[in-house]
Amino acid sequence: MSDRRLRIGCASGFWGDTPEAVGQLVSKGKIDYLVFDYLAEVTMSLMARARAKAPEAGFAPDFVKALVPWLHEIKARGIKVVANAGGVNPRGCRDALAKAAEEAGIDLSIGVVLGDDLSAQADDIRARGQTEMFSGADFPDNIYSMNAYLGARPIAAALDAGADVVITGRCADSAVALGPLMHEFSWTDDDWDRLSQGSLAGHLIECGPQGTGGNFTDWQEVPGWDNMGMPIVEVAKDGSFVMTKTPDTGGLVVPGSVGEQMLYEIGDPRAYLLPDVICDWSGVTLEQVGPDRVLVKGAKGLGRTGSYKVSATHADGWRAITTLTLAAIDAPAKAERVAEAILTRCRRICRDRNLGDFRQVSVEVLGAEAAYGPNARARTREVVLKIGAVHDERNALNIFAGEVAPMAISTAQGLTGFFAGRPKVQPVVRLFSFLQDKADTPVSVEVDGKDVPVTVATKEVRLDPPATPPADSHEAGPDAVKVRLVDLAWGRSGDKGDIANIGILARKPEYLPYIRSALTEDRVKAYFAHLCDGAVERFDLPGSHALNFLLHESLGGGGIASVRIDPQGKGFAQMLLDIDIPVPIDLAARDGLTAAEPG
C-alpha cells in the first residue's frame, strides 16, 4: 500500500542505557522494528580489550539481557530487531543470543554483518604511510581497535534473507534504522533523497530519549523525566516521516526538541557524510502535526563517497583525575592554590626521579564557573577542585595519586571530600581517524551461520547541491535591546573527536537574522577562546531557521583522551545560550523579551 508507514523505535542510545526501554517499546509502541545503538569509539576500545582477555567477549551483553525477557512477545508481534551490539565480536553476540533463545524455546533467525574490523590490516595500513585525517599524526605502533563505519546495505541484505534479528559491529549509528527502510521499501543505492531522509530518521532516534525531550533547552516544559518516552519514527515510502514517542510516557516531541537532535554532532549540514549517502539537511522542515508528533521533510541526498571513515583507538600515555571539596572563605582562590601546590610538589618529585613533566594538566574549580573562563559570574564559598593530569609514565601518575590526600593537613582549611580515595591511573585512549576505499573493505553477511550475498555500492558519486539564497543578517539598530540568546533560540552541543558542535535554532524565523548578525564565527571564537584552540566554522540551515557551529580543537583531545570536566562539549550550548544578542526595541516589546542583566 502506498500509504504504508513503517514504525521504528530505538531502545538504546549508548552502552549502559536503561533496559526498561525494550519493554516500553514492545508493549506500547506498536512498532515494526526495534533498533539499538551501543557503540562509541571508546566503547570499541573497551570491547577489544575485553576480547583480548576472553575470546567469547567483545560485544554488549546488555543487549542480550534486555532482549531475552521480551523475546516471546517480540516474536508474537512480528517485531524485527537490528542492533550494533556486536562490537568487535558480532558472532559472539549472535551465539549468546541464539543460546538464550533456544533455552526460551524460541526459533530465531539471526544475521550478522562482518567486515568492519580492520585490525588485521594494521601493518599494511601503517606501511603505506597512513596519517590521521585531522591532525596529520603518524599511524600508531599499537592499536586497541580499528573499525570502519559500515552502511545500511548489509543490514538490508540480512533482512532480505529472512533474519529476525540483525547484529552488526561498527556501522553508522543511523544505519540501524536505514537498513530496515531499504529492505521494506526496496530503496536502491541511488535513491538519494530517500536515503538522506531515512538517515535523518535514524539520526533522530539513535540517542534514545534525547530526541524526545531529553536534554531539551526548555527543560521546564518536559514532563516525566522518570519515565521518558522512547523515540519512534513513522516513515513513508517516499522517506517523509513523523517523529513521535511511545504513548502515555514522559517527554516532549516538538520542533525545538527534534531540531536540537537533528543538529546534534553533525558538521556541515549541506554535506553530512554517511556511508550510504551525502546528506544535505539544510532545507529540512519541522512541522507540528499533532501532540508529540513532528513531520520531518526536505532532506536531500547528494551522492555517495567512495570511502569509509575508519576509527582506530590506541594507547597514548596515562592519565589520572581527582576531585576534592572545599567549603571555605575565599574557596575558589584557595582551591587554585591547592592545585598549584599539588602539581608543583609532584613535578619536583618527578624531576628527582627522572620522570619528566606532565604532558597535559587541567585544573578546574567547579562551582566557580571554571568552564566559562572570563565569562564567569559566580561568587561562591563552596567549590569542587578537579585536577587532571596526563603523563607518558604510569609511575608519574602513581606519584600524583599519592600526593593528593596529604594536602588535607598542609594547605587550606576546609579541604574535604576525599570520598573516592586515591585517583585511579588509567591509560589514555586516543582516536585515530582516516579514510579507506570501500572497495578495500570486505563486507560480508551471515544468516544462521550461512553466507548471504551482499553488494555494497563503492563508486563515488557527487551531485551538485541545489542553489540556496544567501542568508539574511539584520543589525538591530541604535535603539537595540540586548537579550539572552536562550530567549531567542534553542541549542544543543556535542562532539566529534576534538571538535565541538553547537546547534542553534531560532524560536521564531524572524529572530534568525538578528542572531546571525550577532553570532559570528569571530564572536563565538572569542567567547570560547579559553577552550577553543582552533578555528570556528558556521553553517546555515534555512529550512529549520538554524545555525551550526564547529569549534575545532576545543575539547582537550576529546573523549577519554581529555582530562577536562566536559570532554564532549555537553555544556557548550548552555554556555553560548547565555550570550547577549541585540534585537530591535519594538521586537523586544512585542514579544515580551527582557533585557539581559549585565555580565
Residue 314 in contact with residue 429, Cβ under 8 Å?
yes
Looking at mean pLDDT, say which of 1-15, 154-168, 397-411 comes out highest: 154-168
CB of 363 closer than 8 Å to CB of 389: no
Strands (E), 142-292: 145-148, 165-168, 231-236, 241-245, 272-273, 278-280, 285-290
289, 406: one domain: no
pLDDT tens string 207-266: 999 999 999 999 999 999 999 999 999 999 999 999 999 999 999 999 999 999 999 999
Q: In the predicted model, is pLDDT for residue 2 greater than 70?
A: no
Whether pLDDT at 599 is above 70: no
The predicted-structure confidence for 497-536, as pLDDT tens digits, reads as follows: 899 999 999 999 999 999 999 999 999 999 999 999 999 9
Question: Percentage of the chain with pLDDT > 90?
Answer: 88
The answer to whether position 438 is within a domain reads no
Is residue 192 located within the same domain as residue 240?
A: yes
Euclidean distance between CA atoms 210 and 260, whole angstroms: 9
Q: Is residue 392 part of a domain?
A: yes
Write out the H or E segment, with its range, that includes residue 406: none
Do 75 and 182 belong together in one domain?
Answer: yes
Q: Are 182 and 286 within one domain? A: yes
Residues 272 and 325 in one domain: no
Say if residue 547 is in the same domain as residue 566.
yes
For 34-49, the pLDDT digits (tens) are: 999 999 877 888 898 8
166 lies in the same domain as 214: yes
Same domain, 416 and 533: no
For residue 494 the three cell numbers come to 556535542
Asked, for residue 277, whether it belongs to a domain, the answer is yes
**C-alpha cell at position 526:** 572569542
Domain count within the chain: 3
Domain boundary among 398, 430, 462: 430
Cell numbers given for 509: 524565523
Residue 6 has what pLDDT?
Answer: 98
Provide mean pLDDT across the span 419-431. 87
Lowest pLDDT segment from 344-358, 368-382, 444-458, 535-549 = 368-382
* Closest residue by Cα to residue 264 from 496, 539, 36, 485: 496
Mean pLDDT value of segment 274-301: 98
597 falls within a domain: no
CB within 8 Å of 435: residues ≥ 6 apart: 133, 305, 307, 308, 309, 310
- The answer to whether 37 touches 14, Cβ cutoff 8 Å, is yes
Are 246 and 267 in a shared domain?
Answer: yes
Burial of 190 (0-12, 13-18, 19+ CB in 10 A): middle
pLDDT average, residue stretch 432-457: 96
Same domain assignment for residues 367 and 250: no
Residues 504 and 397 in one domain: no
Task: Residue 536: give the domain boundaries.
Answer: 481-591
**For the residues 195-215, what does the mean pLDDT come to?**
97
- Nearest 5°: the CA angle 294, 202, 59 is 140
Residue 273 within a domain: yes
* Separation CA 55–CA 364 (nearest Å): 41
Is the pLDDT confidence value at 107 over 50? Answer: yes
- Note whether 372 and 259 are same-domain residues: no
Look at residues 399, 430, 461 and tell me which one is the last residue of a structural domain.
Answer: 430
Segment 146-182, tens digit of pLDDT = 999 999 999 999 999 999 999 999 999 999 999 999 9
Query: What pLDDT is attached to residue 1?
Result: 39
The full DSSP string for 529-589 is TTT--S-EEEEEEGGGTEEEEEETT-STTSGGG--SS-TT-TTHHHHHTTSEEEE-HHHHH
Region label for 512, one of left (φ > 0), alpha (ψ between -120 and 50) or beta (otherwise): alpha
